[in-house]
Structure formats: structure tokens, C-alpha cells
Structure 1
């Protein structure tokens, strides 16, 4: 196991900056997910940790040792790629044996490690088969096995579930988390899929345009997003972001819109322009005449719940309703926002504003 620390990491490709002055502590034994849209810098960050790319500037420390410019084989880190990177001309056992033979381990030790890993991943029945005849999920297990069998200080995974179908991805998410809980090896996992991130991570690191925007546990990322981008990126449907007409002043307990007011947590800062954030599941639909007036534009059914798109004095927003409370298109309703669940952002800086509720949150890890 290993603690990984990156300091002021910066990577440029000609005139394009892929990673911008990033600092982050990846705690020993944790499952850390780098999450963000395509091109945000997450894979480049992972490749620099692995030694497949060298940074333009900055430092990478592995258990306190500066490994910034060491080759991959000098870092004692194992990688798992999206496309498996298995040797197709070899069988399953030979793929698992390959890194161990390169280390010069004895036959007894090689057999012991393969037996242990095959048992963990439940691939004992595949050891005699060829790679070409395996299904995608089985290939992924073999790729994981080849990484695990080395017993490295850390695992680095670059969208390893990206080629699997949706159902099997869910199965593999569960298996990966179980595996991590058993091995307790520091794991850095790259994905653009927030469902994978939320189900796997101890800590999620959200990136955009080469910058780390927030590093926090899943509760913090979801309920206390650090900025407007994180608020809009996390959640399906995403957080409602509603610009206030009159702003918020220090200590004020009311958010004012053109034709409505909403109670909010006590603020610890002031902003001449603010944006109110509220998750769709933190809005209750009431009978017409109660709460904030609204009208249903349309609704979607998801089996366990409904999502209603609404027009109101607060703006256009979405709310989640129980499956037995079917919204009706065109119907007039009232809205009640859960005051204790609301967050506000400064419209100018796009950053989360301090309030009683945000100050109660203790993040598991922050970048910087």
C-alpha cells in the first residue's frame, strides 16, 4: 500500500495545457476516483502517476519518495486499461505468470500467487483457456488478475469497465469494491461515469479543463459541490441552479426571486449576485395554492420515481416525485424546497458560499 502525493503538477502538450498546477493527496489504502468529462485531464494525471508521461513541472511522491521522472517499472505500480492490454497469443495462466517471471520469482511462489488471485477473482476455471476465446467480462477479470498478482503498492485503472455492457458494468463495480475492501491497496480509478464513481469511491476528485475542482467523499461531492460546474455535473437529473434576482446578504435567511421568496440556511458571506442550488429530490410537490406556485411542463417515468419539469417564479427546474404520485402535464402545483438542503453559489466566482449547513460538513479530503 502507498500514499501518493502530487504537488503543483502541470502538463503541457505544445500550446495545450492538459493538467494545470494540480496538488492532491491520495491517501494510503483508499479507493480514489478521478471523475470528469472527456479532455478534463484525468487520464493524463493517471499516466503521470504511472510514469507513462512526464510532467512539464511539479512533483509526484510515492510513500514519500520522489518518483516524478522514474520509469514505470521503477514505481511498483500496476495499471489496468480499458482495452485489457492482455497478450492474445498467451493463455490465461501465461498472462498471469508473465510479470512474475520477469521479477524472477520461484515456481512455487508463482503458483501460490496465481492460485490466490484466481480464487479471489473466481477465474480458476479459466486458467487453461486462451485469451481469444474469453468474453469481455472474463478478460477484464484476467487483466485485473495480472495487476493484482504483482502485489504492487498501488493500482491505477484507466476506465477499465468502459467496454462492458451496462448490466455487467454494475456487476464489476460491486466486484471491484469487494476486491478493494479485501486487499486494501491504494487504487486510483479514472472514469467519466458518475454512477461508477459514486458506487466505488472513498474519495472522488472532480476535474475540468485540467484543474482539480473538488476532492471529497461522495456525500460532500453530491450535497456540497464546491462550484457551479460540480453542482451541474454530478447527479441525474442534475442539481437545479436558480439565479437570484436580489442576491443574498450576510445573515439573511431568505432568497428572493422576482415573484417569490424561499427560506435558506443562514449565510456566512454576502454576494450581490447568487445562485441557489437544490437537488430535484429535495423539492416536494404540493397541491396548488400551497408553497411556491408552479406548473408541470412534462414528466418522465423511471420505474421507482417520476421526474417532473416545472415552470415557476424561481425559474425552470426539475423535481422528483414518488412513483405513486404521478405528475400530470399542465397541472398547477405548489413547491416546497427543503431549506436545510439548499446551497448557494456566488455568481461571479461560481464558488460555494459558506452557510450553517456547509460548515457542518467535514470533508474526507481536500486538494491543495
Structure 2
């Protein structure tokens, strides 16, 4: 296992900066997910940690040892790619054995490791098979196995579930999490899929345009997004954002939405203009006049609940509604919010405004 620390990491390609002055501590034995849209810098960051790319500036430490410009084979890490990267002309056993033979390990040790890993991944019945005839899920297990047999300090995974269909992807998320709980090896996993991130991660690092926007556990990312981008990127449906009337100041416990007074956690910083953020499951529908006036525009049924799309003069929003209710398009309603679940953003900087609830939450990762 290993602690990975990146300090002031930058990567430029001609006039384009792919990673901008990023610093992050990835704790020993944790499953860390780098999450963000395509082109945000997450894969470039992973490749620099792996030694497949060298940074323009900055430093990478593995267990306190500077590995910034070392080759991949000198870093004692294993990487799993989206497209499996297996040798198609070899069988499953040969693929698993290949890195161990390169290390010139004794045959008895190779056999021991192959047996152990095949048991962990439940691929004993595939050891005599050819790689080319395997289903996608089985190929990914073999690719994972080839990484695991090396017993590296860390696993680096670049969208390893991206080519699998939805059912296999969900299954492999469960299997990867079980595997991590068994091996406890430091793992860095890249994805653009927030469901994968939430299901797998001890810690999530959200990136956009080459910058780290937030590093925290899944609950912190979801409940206290550091900025408007994170609020919109995380959650399905995403967080609602409504325009607050007028400026806000420190000490306020109520804000106005379209003239309607709304309770909020006590604000600890001022802003000339603000946005109120609230998750759809923390929006409640009541009788007209009982809260912020809104009208139902559309309703979707999800079995366990409804999702209602609404319009108000403060902005459009969505609400998760209990299955026992059925709001109808055209209904006039009053909206209420769970006060302790509301957050506020500075509308100019789009950064989270500190409040009495956000100040009690301590991010579980170090970054800056």
C-alpha cells in the first residue's frame, strides 16, 4: 500500500494547459475516484502518477519518495485501462503470468499468486481459455487479475468499466468495491460517471478544466458542493439553483425568493448576489400559498417516486415526490425546503458561501 502526494502539478501541451497547479494527498489504502467531464484533466493526472506522462511542473511522491520523472516500471504501480490491454494471442493464464515471468519469480510463487488471484476474482474456470473468446466482463476480470498478481503499491484505473453495458458495469462496481475491501491497496480510479464514483469511492476528487474543484468523501461532495459546477454535475436530478432577491450578509437566517421569505442556515459571509441550492429530495410540495409559488410543468414516474418539474419566478426546479402522491401538469403548488439541507452560493464567484452547517463539515481529503 502507498500514500500518493501530488504537489503543484501542471501539464502543458503547447499553448494548452491540461492540469493546472494541482495539489492532492491520496491516503494509503483508500479508493479515490477522479471525477469530471471529458477533457477535465483527470486522465492526464492519472497518467502522470503512472509515469506515462511527465509533468511540466510539480512533484509526485509515492510513500514520500520523489518519483516525478521515473519510468512506470520504477514506480511499483499497476494500471488497468478501459480497453483491457490484454495480449490477444495469449491465454488467460499466460496473460496473468506475463508480468510475473518478467520479474523472474520462481514457478512456485507464480503458481501461488495465480491461484490466489483467480480465486479472488472467481476466474478459475477461465484459466485455460483464450482471451479472444471471453465476454467483456470476464476480460475486465482478467485485466484486473494481471494488475493484482503483481502486488503493487497502488492500482491506477482509467475508466476500466467504460466499454461494459449498464448491467455489467453495475455488477463490476460491486465486485471492485468488494475487491478493494479485501486487498486494501491504494486505488486511483478515473471516471466521468458520477454513479460509479458514488458507488466506489472512499474519496472523490471533482475536476474541471484542469483544476481540482473539490476533494471530499461522497457525502461531502453531495451535501456541500464547493461551487455551482459541482452542484450541477453531481446528483440526478442535479441540485436546484434559485435566484435570491438582493444581497446577503453575515448572520442572516432568512433570504427572499421572489418576495417569499425562506429559512436558511445562518450565513457566515456576505455576497452582493446569491443563489440558493437545494436537492430535489429536499423540496416539498404543498397547497398554493404555503410557500414559494410554483406550477407543475411535467411529471415522470420512477416506481418508488415521482419527479416533478416546476417553474417559479425564482427559477425552474425539480422535486422528488412520494409515490403515494401524483402531481399533475398545471397544478399550482407552494414549495417548502428542508432548512438544514439548503446551501447558498455567491452568484458572482459561484463559490459556496460558508454557513453554520457547512462550517461543521470538515473535508476528508487534503488539497489546494
Q: TM-score, with normalisation over the residues of structure 2?
A: 0.99
Query: 8 Å contact 2:257–2:292 — kept in the other structure?
Result: no
Aligned to 1:7: 7
Tell whether 2:231 aligns with 1:234.
no
- Superposed counterparts of 1:33-182, under 5 Å: 33-182=33-182
Distance in 2 separating the partners of 1:224 and 1:320: 19
Distance in 2 separating the partners of 1:327 and 1:250: 37
Report the Cα offset of residue 258 of structure 1.
2.8
Query: 8 Å contact 1:214–1:366 — kept in the other structure?
Result: no
- Superposed counterparts of 1:236-255, under 5 Å: 236-255=236-255
Distance in 1 separating the partners of 2:83 and 2:27: 27
Query: 8 Å contact 1:33–1:204 — kept in the other structure?
Result: yes
Query: 8 Å contact 1:259–1:313 — kept in the other structure?
Result: no
Report the Cα offset of residue 289 of structure 1.
3.2
Distance 1:299 1:366, change over 3 A: farther
> Matched residue of 1:330: which SS?
coil
Distance in 1 separating the partners of 2:36 and 2:304: 27
Distance 1:229 1:312, change over 3 A: same
Distance in 1 separating the partners of 2:331 and 2:243: 25
Aligned to 2:351: 351
Give a deviation string over 1:303-339, Cα, whole Å, max 9, x none: 2211111112332111110122111010111111111
Distance in 1 separating the partners of 2:292 and 2:243: 16
> Matched residue of 1:83: which SS?
coil
> Matched residue of 2:168: which SS?
helix
Distance in 2 separating the partners of 1:267 and 1:145: 50
Structure 1 stretches of 4+ with a deviation exceeding 4 A read: none
Distance in 1 separating the partners of 2:304 and 2:67: 49
Report the Cα offset of residue 82 of structure 1.
0.3
Give a deviation string over 1:182-239, Cα, whole Å, max 9, x none: 0000000000000000000000000000000000000100000001110110001000
Give a deviation string over 1:16-53, Cα, whole Å, max 9, x none: 11000000000000000000000000000000000000
Distance in 1 separating the partners of 2:346 and 2:292: 23
Query: 8 Å contact 1:295–1:311 — kept in the other structure?
Result: yes
Report the Cα offset of residue 259 of structure 1.
2.7
Distance in 2 separating the partners of 1:117 and 1:221: 34
> Matched residue of 2:367: which SS?
coil
Aligned CA-pair RMSD: 0.8
Distance in 2 separating the partners of 1:313 and 1:262: 14
Distance in 2 separating the partners of 1:108 and 1:259: 76
Query: 8 Å contact 2:241–2:315 — kept in the other structure?
Result: no
Moved more, 295-304 or 47-56: 295-304
- Superposed counterparts of 1:159-308, under 5 Å: 159-308=159-308
Give a deviation string over 1:75-98, Cα, whole Å, max 9, x none: 000000000000000000000000
Moved more, 34-43 or 240-249: 240-249
Distance in 2 separating the partners of 1:173 and 1:359: 32
> Matched residue of 1:356: which SS?
coil
Distance in 2 separating the partners of 1:322 and 1:79: 44
Query: 8 Å contact 1:260–1:313 — kept in the other structure?
Result: no
Distance in 2 separating the partners of 1:70 and 1:262: 56
Moved more, 244-253 or 222-231: 244-253
Report the Cα offset of residue 291 of structure 1.
2.0
Aligned to 1:330: 330
Q: How many residues align?
A: 368
Distance in 1 separating the partners of 2:221 and 2:150: 33
Tell whether 2:320 aligns with 1:309.
no
> Matched residue of 1:349: which SS?
coil
